[in-house]
Structure 1
Amino acid sequence: MADTLQLEPFQHSAALSLGVELELQLVNTNDYDLAPYADEMLRLMARHKLPGSVVPEMTSSMIEISTGVCQNTADVLGQLATIRDALVRSADKLNIAVVGGGTHPYQQWHEQRIYDKPRFRQLSELYGYLSKQFTIFGQHVHIGCPDADAALLMLHRMSRYIPHFIALSASSPYVQAQDTQFDSARLNSVFAFPMSGRAPFTLSWDQFGEFFAKTTRTGVVKSMKDFYWDIRPKPEYGTIEIRVFDTPLTIARAAALAGFVQALGAWFLQEQPFMPQEDDYMVYTYNRFQACRFGLEAVYVEPATGQHTSLREHILQTLEQIKGHARELGALDGIELLANDAAQARNDARWLREQQARERLLAETVRQASLRFRGPN
């Protein structure tokens, strides 16, 4: 039996502060397939003075960027723009391109190389081929919580909005050159991991510590990093981390999604609109599947009442409900962007399908997506 590991204390952070991570694709500019240029990109990026960080990911055709601690979406967008511009300049020197999106439309998983880093090698030994299939690309949003118990309460309240996050960010309709008929096929790869899914229903940090002690005692889990939950606490930062977003095609959308999380968090903290319950999770997997499969055209089952409604309508109602909080936080522009897209049932998955219908060549669709990532200039 393994030794029990101690859960680290929940650190202080400013309530509603934000941090955003984006996993991005590196592609060549010949056929726009993934290209193993992470080392070269990291070397060039190290010459730039940047907010946040730029680090390798599981395979060598990926790179992860993250902001520092941000107070609002203008800060998120400003930091992401600075890093994005440096990425584009570095990629141009290497004759490659950087692309958003939750999956690369036609890469072959078996061709990918595990990035040479001890943790990635250990994961590869443990998970085998799943590690290379984890060449998928997500956005993670951290939101600061006043204390550990408040973090767990916010985590379980946010869980009701996981389908909303999935549908609005969905950008992974293509896998292995096939239209999967999912708006977010990326999450199907995440679900294959044994520690994926939802966090246990605990509303006190002491209870959560007991759960953590039990799981670490078995040796299955060695740290919080081993949980691939849709939302997980990050005690070292004093945040919860929402992990279901596909990487958007633009940093403007990434900032808007972070603003949605922040405005929801403000609503929860200031109005305490409902108390989460274990029974909320009876419809959780169904709602999550609906959002992955159908995006903004999904059905949403209201956890409290069991009422079936349109996810798109529920998103629009929610965005209207939190508009006052968004205005106070400076997140209103992003909320209106998301509301306009929801009203038209538009997300990045739909944009990719429309491009492919017009171009009839996935390489050209990826090229067009790389131009979107570069921004208006």
Structure 2
Amino acid sequence: MVPTLGVEEEYLLLDPVTGHNVPVADEVYAALPEEVAGQSRREFRRSMVEMVTPVCRTLAEVRQSLFTLRVAAAKAAATAGARLVAVGATPIADPDRTVSDDPRFRRIVDHYGPVVAHPAVCGCHVHVGVPDRDVAIQVGNHLRVWLPVVQAIAVNSPLHAGADTGHASWRAMQLDRWPSLGPTPWFASTEDYDRTVRALVASGVMLDETMVLWHARPSARYPTVEVRVTDVCLTIDDAVLVAGLVRALVATAIDDIAAGRPAPRARGELVRAAHWNAAHTGLTGTLTDPRTGGSRPAFELVDELVATVRPALDRHGDLTPALQGLDALRERGTGADWQRRVHARTRDVAAMLADLGQRTIEG
């Protein structure tokens, strides 16, 4: 059976003139057409909106849904005087860091204090259907060594305070401040997972069980594995590619679990190093292979990932769109590469953000 798919995307709301984040999310949600309003989710910051696809079975459905949601959200943002942009981190400034009026958000602010005060960041979360929670936790073990490669494919936040940070994903660097976010630990069993979460909540590292923010986790609401490692993708093409690869990775892990093949073991320090490397360089240089600790050309690891999940891609009907997406990625680069090229050409961050706004809604 082909696992189901769902994609959650977060977007920034930017002033069309200054490029600053603007806290007009309430106005944007109010302006959404009725047919998509139910697929919106209130986000932590009032300068962000989140849109969620319905449950999908094909990448064509994912593509059409993302296009519909992005265009609707962009039009609603325009009525509120803002530009909707799919970018992973605040590119210029976030002068009004107002948190949305929600009791849970207020508890997070009270508990974590200044950790919460960083500029807004936006991610892409992919949900893949799994048989049950036990399988979801085992799948997390199998994904650990491959998620840095997925992260590198989707890097899309090189700017901070209007300047290039030298990192392809500044979002990842900002999120390192959160104590319960990062690579998924290896768990021996569901009991081991639950025991660990209880201990982390008791310690205060996690405010509650909803603060499990690891890169892959069993969803608290759905029978899915939620992979939340990437920046929001600049283009719909890149988002579809990430969704297809993540589904294929989960399906391959389920096959391995059923066949009794163990998950690759890698030291936690090496997995974390691989994620840092992915966020720093994207696909422009080498990536760390957490299985060995060695450096390898980025696209060599991408090709190995595709070879590993190719049977699942083929089985799902996703092989051709995945290969086409990778060909496009090789030709034009990641979202971070695109931002840097446009910035270098225009020497104008505002012009670059206008370009990003257009690419956000191109289908």
Is the shorter-chain TM-score for this pair beyond 0.5, marking a shared fold? yes
* Gap change, CA 1:284 and 1:341, over 3 Å in 2: farther
Match of 1:103 in 2: 89
Q: Contact 1:259 / 1:331 at 8 angstroms: preserved in 2?
A: yes
Corresponding residue SS for 2:104: helix
Q: Paired residue for 2:68?
A: 82
Structure 2 Cα separation of the partners of residues 166 and 160 of structure 1: 11
Cα drift, residue 174 of structure 1: 0.4
Q: CA deviation at 1:327?
A: 2.8
Aligned-residue offset at 1:103? 1.2
The whole-number CA distance in structure 2 between the counterparts of 1:261 and 1:246 is: 14
* Residue 169 (structure 1) aligned with residue 154 (structure 2): yes
SS at match of 1:41: helix
Q: 1:40 aligns with which of 20, 27, 40?
A: 27
CA offsets per residue over residues 50-93 of structure 1, 9 Å max, x none?
Answer: 28621221211101111122222222222222222221222233
Aligned partner of 2:188 in structure 1 is 203
**Contact 1:22-1:65 within 8 A present in 2 as well:** yes
Given candidates 306, 311, 314, the residue that maps to 1:319 is 306
Unaligned 5+ runs, structure 1: 1-13
Residue range with higher mean Cα deviation, 203-212 or 188-197: 203-212
**Which 4+ residue blocks in structure 1 deviate beyond 4 angstroms?**
271-274
> d(CA) in 2 for partners of 1:364 and 1:212?
45
Q: Partners of 2:109 and 2:315 in 1: how far apart?
A: 45
C-alpha distance in 2 between matches for 1:280 and 1:268: 19
Residue type of the partner of 1:127? Y
CA change 1:334–1:130 in 2 (3 A) is farther
Alignment of 1:281-296 (within 5 A): 281-296=268-283
Please give the secondary structure, in 2, of the residue aligned with 1:32.
coil
Could you list the runs of 5+ residues in structure 2 that have no partner in the other structure? none
Distance change (3 Å), C-alpha of 1:304 and 1:95: closer
1:355 aligns with 2:346: no
Provide the aligned length of Structure 1 versus Structure 2. Answer: 361
Tell me the distance in 1 between the aligned counterparts of 2:93 and 2:303.
35
Paired with 2:5 and 2:314, the residues of 1 have a C-alpha distance of: 16
**AA paired with 2:151?**
I
Report the aligned-residue RMSD: 2.3
Q: Deviations over 1:141-166 (max 9, x none)?
A: 11122222221221111111121111
2: CA distance, partners of 1:334 / 1:359: 32
- The one-letter code matched in structure 2 to 1:346 is G
Of 192-201 and 305-314, deviating more is 305-314
Indicate conservation of the 8 Å contact 1:257/1:334, yes or no: no
1:331 is matched with which residue: 318, 321, 325? 318
Task: Give the structure 1 partner of residue 35 of structure 2.
Answer: 49
TM-score using structure 1 length: 0.88
Distance 1:299 1:213, change over 3 A: same
For 2:24 and 2:269, locate their aligned partners in 1 and report how far apart those are by CA, in whole Å. 43
TM-score (norm 2): 0.91
5 Å matches for 1:183-194?
183-194=168-179
Equivalent residue of 1:50, what SS? helix
Does the 8 A contact of 2:180 with 2:205 survive in 1? no
- 8 Å Cα contact 1:33-1:363 kept in structure 2: no
Provide the secondary structure at the position in 1 that maps to 2:145: helix
Q: Per-residue displacement from partner, 1:277-297 (whole Å, max 9, x unpaired)? A: 554434111111111111113
Alpha-carbon displacement from aligned partner over 1:107-145 (angstroms, at most 9, x marks no partner)? 14x532222222222222222333231510110111122
Deviations 1:208-262 (A, max 9, x none): 2222333334454353321222222214312221111001112232122111101
Aligned AA (1:325): A
Structure 1 residue 334: Cα displacement: 3.6
